Amino acid sequence: MAALKFLVLTLLVLQRSPVVSDELDEEMCLHMQEREEMLNREVTRLLRDLDQKTQEQNNPEHSGFAWGALLFPALQQWKVQAIAGFQVLFYMLLWWFMKSNREPGHSSHEEDLSNNRDQVEEQQEQQQEEEYDSDEVGRFLDEHIQWPAEDLIEDGDTVKSIVQALVLVFQNITLEGFQPVLKLPIGVGSAFEGWSHREEDIVYRLFVPLSPPNGHTFHLELVDTEGEKMERNFRIHVKLMCTCASKPQEILCFLHHPEEELRRNQKPSLLESQVFCTGSYLDVNKTARWFYQLVRASWVILPQSAIWRLKMLPFDRSCKFQMKRNNASPLTVELMFGVQQGKSNIFVGNQSAEGIFTPSTTWLETYAVAEIKFFSHIAEKAHRDSFHLKCLQICSCSLVGTGVSSYIMKTVVMHLLTIISISRWRRKHFLLRLQDIMRFLHSCLEDKCLNHFFLGNKNLPAEIKLPLDFPMAEPLNLFQHLEQDPDAHAEALRNFRVLHERFTRLLIFGR
């Protein structure tokens, strides 16, 4: 009866939606209306039969046989209702999402969502709650969708503790030389943010900040990208600094002590060894090779090596390996590294631009640490049943082959988290927030404009520390390529329709 109640209530909600858009296919409308009428007739008859059964059960003249005679056809009817109900639910959800992206006025998506959002939703939800329990719909969707990687937190904690132990070993090994100084790793990326769109693609990424050794400094030099604004590239210039005035004088000054004395009493400088540098610039590939060798050599020292088996993976600009225990699936780990910009949460790191050759002395600006800090800030304010991460997760499950990256989807959700109060991301708001995400993405694609979340954004939480030039910088358009290529824009809109259909099926069938 509870399942039947949910089906009836869900259909009532969907039936009270606004009139179907004229652009919707007439055949689909007729098909949906026929399904609705059939279902209403069948549900009414079933409820009438059940009411009659209840009355006759209370009549002492009726035997248990009469009860069974009514119950059996009712149960048979339930099977028919379930199949028909889910078919109607599928068509209604498909219409709902198609209509939400065809409504006029989507071009000013941020303004539309921010203007009186809370007030409008409170009125809307107050009206809905008089007709159905919205949390029941959210609970149903939560239970029937197959969420990937439910054990992200536990596995992430395990990986982080092992990598922290590795870094401590690295620090002890490198005490006497002049290698980059390693700080404790920071878990970044979807696995540590609490969501991952596909279980088979889970990679536990940890970012290891680097600082210069004694007698050295790192200077970040912005590389001219010849008009390309999609990424900000840097080179890390390694320079020697005078240590003559340091008290106590821990090292000989590389600038002012005789070369013979330096050669006899002190290890080579970071520049002289050329283990990390090409010329006077820190080299990404050489640094990754150094990490690779350290992991392989240090693993046997760890107590965890008695339980976990290590498999090193091919590397280029980062160090990757897998950890496997008994018959469990292996955990893939990637060590990222880079240099902090001042005292901010923005770094230059070793990742490369997708599909573009990146010189080994070029480091790309990375916002991974700022992103994990943003999600931590949201988690502190969120209700215990907040669904913002599951909204991001489910919206990312259908992205393969659509041309929309998980980073684009994450940027959309991060923008909405600053526009819509976190109190309105609970389970009972699940469908509303999913609609907002798809509408926002569609509007951005139509406008060929999705602003970068950090660069030029003045609405960030104060807890996130940015370089001084960030708030005043010109907003960076992640869809700039769509402005320059009409064919790419048309293809992006076609791909969105594919994404839309996949997303609707995912809501209905749970996978």
pLDDT of residue 63: 40
Residue 485 pLDDT > 80: yes
pLDDT of residue 402: 85
Supply the mean pLDDT for the chain. Answer: 78
CA-closest candidate to residue 336, choices 354, 315, 357: 315
SS3 content of the chain, % helix, strand, coil (to 5): 55, 10, 35
What gap in Å lies between CA 441 and CA 438, rounded to an integer?
5
Helix (H) or strand (E) holding 295: helix 284-298
**Beta pairing, strands 233-240 & 309-312:** unpaired
CB 65 within 8 A of CB 51: no
* Mean local confidence (pLDDT), 483-511: 85
Question: The tokens 């404009």 sit on which residue?
Answer: 449
Percent of the chain's residues with pLDDT above 70: 67
- What pTM does this model have? 0.76
pLDDT of residue 102: 47
Residue 50 pLDDT > 80: no
Which domains does the chain show, CATH number per domain? 1-100 (no CATH), 104-132+382-511 (1.10.1410), 152-373 (3.30.460.90)
pLDDT of residue 411: 96
Buried b (16+ CB within 10 A) or exposed e, 159-172: bbebbeebbebbee
* Mean local confidence (pLDDT), 107-114: 51
pLDDT of residue 183: 95
* Mean local confidence (pLDDT), 137-160: 71
What gap in Å lies between CA 460 and CA 483, rounded to an integer?
26
* Mean local confidence (pLDDT), 92-111: 48
Residue 4 pLDDT > 60: no
Here the tokens at position 217 are: 């400094």
Q: What is the pLDDT of residues 435-455, one digit of tens each?
A: 899 999 999 999 999 999 998
CA-closest candidate to residue 370, choices 188, 154, 178: 188
364 — pLDDT class (breaks 50, 70, 90)? very high
Buried b (16+ CB within 10 A) or exposed e, 224-243: eeeeeeebbbbbbbbebeeb
Residue 126 pLDDT > 60: no
What gap in Å lies between CA 10 and CA 15, rounded to an integer?
9
**Beta pairing, strands 331-340 & 204-211:** parallel
Residue 140 pLDDT > 90: no
385 — pLDDT class (breaks 50, 70, 90)? confident
501 — pLDDT class (breaks 50, 70, 90)? confident
What gap in Å lies between CA 498 and CA 244, rounded to an integer?
66
Instruction: Count CB neighbours of 459 within 10 A.
Output: 11
In terms of average pLDDT, the best of 89-93, 206-210, 434-438, 479-483 is 206-210
